[in-house]
Structure 1
């Protein structure tokens, strides 16, 4: 069972928690109907991402065999055969189609924008898998757009609008993580040789500058988000003070990236870095108090 979970990259599903942001920030996460729809969006996005991962591993099989870490992936190591991977991918594809059909029928065919977001994510990542992941700059932009589609899909399925500041903030946050990962791969490349074609368009100095710019823009965007009239009206004005947690989180991420070179995979931070875990928990609690106990 472990090898199949590894093939699906279940540990990467944490990224799809972004679909819950619209219902969380709207203060309606306790409404079971909307929460259930968000859970459905999470599952559909997770299955879609897993399907893409299978296609990616199938296409990169020979390269992964030569990679110091990727050689342990189920397909590259031979733990799962190519035929089995194809059958699993087809089954997941059918499951995704069934879920999208159910969502459309259950909502009276009024939720086509959600299905369009899923389809856009799938097609965009197919282009990424077959070609665009080898094109510097474009590769990290596609990753960032994928996170935006996650948030938008959470809004589409629940009927909750996503503000421009929230959309831009999501894009910039994802850009920070993508650049940090590329920087980690550059460090790894210096040790083990080239592992990704797109790395030819990056170097550590460029990654450091791009990461600093993106972090700065993300912090400024978050400040503007907390100061926007709609947020100030919806929550208590003291929501602005959650900026403290955000700045700390970005500084910790920069420390991990620039000092310790530990960010080849951004999800590892969420699972292993206790500082980031605590600060995210404090930020979450602070927002919960502003949203649900603002009186």
Structure 2
């Protein structure tokens, strides 16, 4: 609720580009963090440039998605207050902002390795098709959302010039699928409480199906993380065989999120959890600190 109220007080054009969603772009820093080179100032600066490029691209996609959903948003009791649906920003102006953001994203990407431009281009193309209709195809919708996190991770590896482990890519994809299903559960719980239908394909999911999927992905994700932390390239790069100990915090964090979804039935979206749940916040901080200690000290 606090996040919603805070957003409503922001200028209209800032609400349109959804800066609170930029936290997802932090995945670009993951390869360098796991490689133990996160403190390299030159790499950090270049990754920050890549972060800004992804922020511009993501905001452009959010604008295009709002334009594509305009008719449905006008009928939605909450989404009708969005900048475009409310008429505060015209469709023409929105298209202009989207174009400028895409140009900014491409322009910034030119400061980075050439392969990064390809990554961000594919990210934009995938999401354009998602907004044009693929978001209404059940299962494919969450897989496209998950691919966005993989693109961010691969882009970070290109900038930092590190090989992204297959285990890491798989783990990121599983995590993103897990969070995407959690978002669908949030939509279903909202529909149950208020009768508001958030997406056209929400009817192709139900709570037992999503609960099963979330539980399955949680288990696979934990195993994948443990396998990643015990792989030769990770232990060799970290010069330590204690990385597996950080799995304690991963397990605790996943169990807490499952508790929020399946026991407390709060149906919080993944982004909201990062801002609201103290247990999750502390767990992430402890996980990061333990990783930093093992890798850097």
TM bracket, shorter-chain basis: over 0.9
Question: How many residues are matched?
Answer: 286
Query: 1:19 offset after TM fit, Å?
Result: 0.1
Unaligned runs of 5+ in 1: 104-110
SS in 2 for 1:76: coil
Aligned with 1:98 (options 99, 102, 107):
107
Q: Pick from 222, 227, 230: which aligns with 1:224?
A: 227
Aligned to 2:202: 199
After TM superposition, the runs of 4+ consecutive aligned structure 1 residues lying more than 6 A away are none
1:18 is matched with which residue: 19, 27, 38?
A: 27
Task: After TM superposition, give the deviation of residue 234 of structure 1 in Å.
Answer: 2.4
Deviation larger for 182-191 or 18-27? 182-191
CA distance in 2, matches of 1:78, 1:259: 40
Q: Post-superposition shift, 1:80?
A: 1.9
Could you state the TM-score of these two structures normalised by the residue count of structure 2? 0.93
Following superposition, the deviation at residue 67 of structure 1 comes to 2.0
Tell me if structure 2 keeps the 8 A contact 1:68–1:192.
no
Could you tell me the TM-score, scaled by structure 1's length? 0.93
Structure 2: runs of 5 or more not aligned:
1-9
Q: Is the 8 Å Cα contact of residues 106 and 117 (structure 2) preserved in structure 1?
A: no
Question: SS at 1:195's partner residue?
Answer: coil
1:273 to 277, 282, 288: 277
In 2, are the aligned partners of 1:48 and 1:93 still within 8 Å (CA)?
yes
1:240 counterpart (237, 244, 249): 244
Whether 2:148 is the aligned partner of 1:146: answer yes
Indicate conservation of the 8 Å contact 1:27/1:291, yes or no: yes
Once residues 4 and 229 of structure 1 are traced to their aligned partners in structure 2, the CA distance between those partners, rounded to angstroms, is 48
Following superposition, the deviation at residue 30 of structure 1 comes to: 1.4
Q: Give the distance between the partners of 1:67 and 1:251, measured in 2 at CA.
A: 33
In the TM superposition, what whole-angstrom CA distance separates every residue of 1:89-122 from its partner, at most 9, and x where no partner exists?
A: 122122122212333xxxxxxx222111101100
| Greater mean deviation of Cα atoms: 13-22 or 258-267 | 258-267
Distance of 1:137 and 1:185 partners within structure 2: 15
